[in-house]
């Protein structure tokens, strides 16, 4: 599956996506709504997540639009109104994380616990520990996203799909940066439930993200 990322969501943009689920001929299956990318009101969040789209609710802590409490409330509002997944950073404090996880479980919303490293790709042993921690803390899906600077970095990331028995379909491991593009194409082939793409060229939400049109063309050959 391809998950397109909406970095600056609005009600109008989401309504347009709901009206064109084929994405102008380039099929997507899931939309990540980066709530942190726009100053959305509670009513706007309710409206967006009530639309007939399968969505991931994400609100990163580096946002300047929301306080900690507002981020938590935004995610819980999204869950209450139909989010299929909620993404919580592994660094989040335990009370924040647990409250959102309990709310997600009560609403049949799957939990993604995500680890991002914008500087480097840690050694494989460390990455495996991070994956295990994600699941120990309540993840349905563990997301690992690291800056890649070599083929070795990409290899360590892709090796995670075979790191533990039963992990297939429960991990999204991708490399950021130019060198990591291959991991974004390989992810669904190796067992990731989805891979991320930008909605169009120039609207990336992470370094090295491939646009939906290009990624669709690449993935369909496998």
Contact 209, 221 (CB under 8 A): no
H or E segment and range at residue 91: none
The stretch 99-122 carries a mean pLDDT of 98
From the candidates 26, 143, 170, 181, give the one annotated as an active-site residue.
Answer: 143
- List, as one string, the DSSP characters of 176-205: ESGGGHHHHHHHHHHT-S-EEEESSTT--S
Mean pLDDT of 48-70: 93
Say which range, 20-34, 74-88, 142-156, 188-202, has the weakest mean pLDDT.
Answer: 20-34
pLDDT over 80 at 23, yes or no: no
Mean pLDDT over 187-194 rounds to 93
Known catalytic membership, residue 116: yes
The domain spans of the chain are 2-114+180-219
Catalytic residue among 116, 170, 181, 220: 116
DSSP code of residue 211: B
Active site residue 103: no
CATH number of 2-114+180-219: 3.20.20.70
């Amino acid at each position: 599956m391809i998950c397109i990322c909406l970095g600056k969501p609005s009600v109008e943009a989401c309504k347009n996506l709901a009206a064109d689920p084929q994405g102008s001929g380039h099929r997507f299956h899931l939309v990540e709504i980066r709530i942190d990318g726009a100053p959305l009101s509670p009513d706007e969040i309710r409206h967006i997540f009530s639309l007939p789209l399968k969505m991931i609710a994400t609100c990163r802590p580096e946002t300047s639009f929301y306080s900690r409490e507002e981020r938590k409330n935004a995610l819980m509002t999204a869950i209450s109104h139909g989010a299929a997944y909620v993404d919580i950073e592994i660094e989040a404090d335990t009370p924040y994380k647990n409250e959102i996880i309990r709310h997600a479980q009560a609403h049949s919303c799957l939990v993604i616990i995500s680890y991002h490293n914008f500087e480097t790709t840690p050694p494989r042993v460390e990455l495996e520990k991070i994956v295990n921690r994600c699941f120990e803390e309540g993840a349905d899906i563990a997301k690992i996203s690291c800056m890649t600077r070599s083929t070795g970095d990409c290899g360590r990331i892709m090796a995670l799909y075979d790191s533990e028995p039963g992990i297939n379909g429960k991990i999204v491991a991708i490399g950021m940066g130019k060198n990591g593009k291959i991991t974004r194409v390989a992810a669904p082939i190796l067992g990731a439930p989805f891979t991320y793409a930008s909605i169009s060229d120039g609207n990336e939400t992470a370094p090295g993200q491939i646009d939906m049109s290009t990624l669709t063309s690449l993935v369909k050959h496998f």
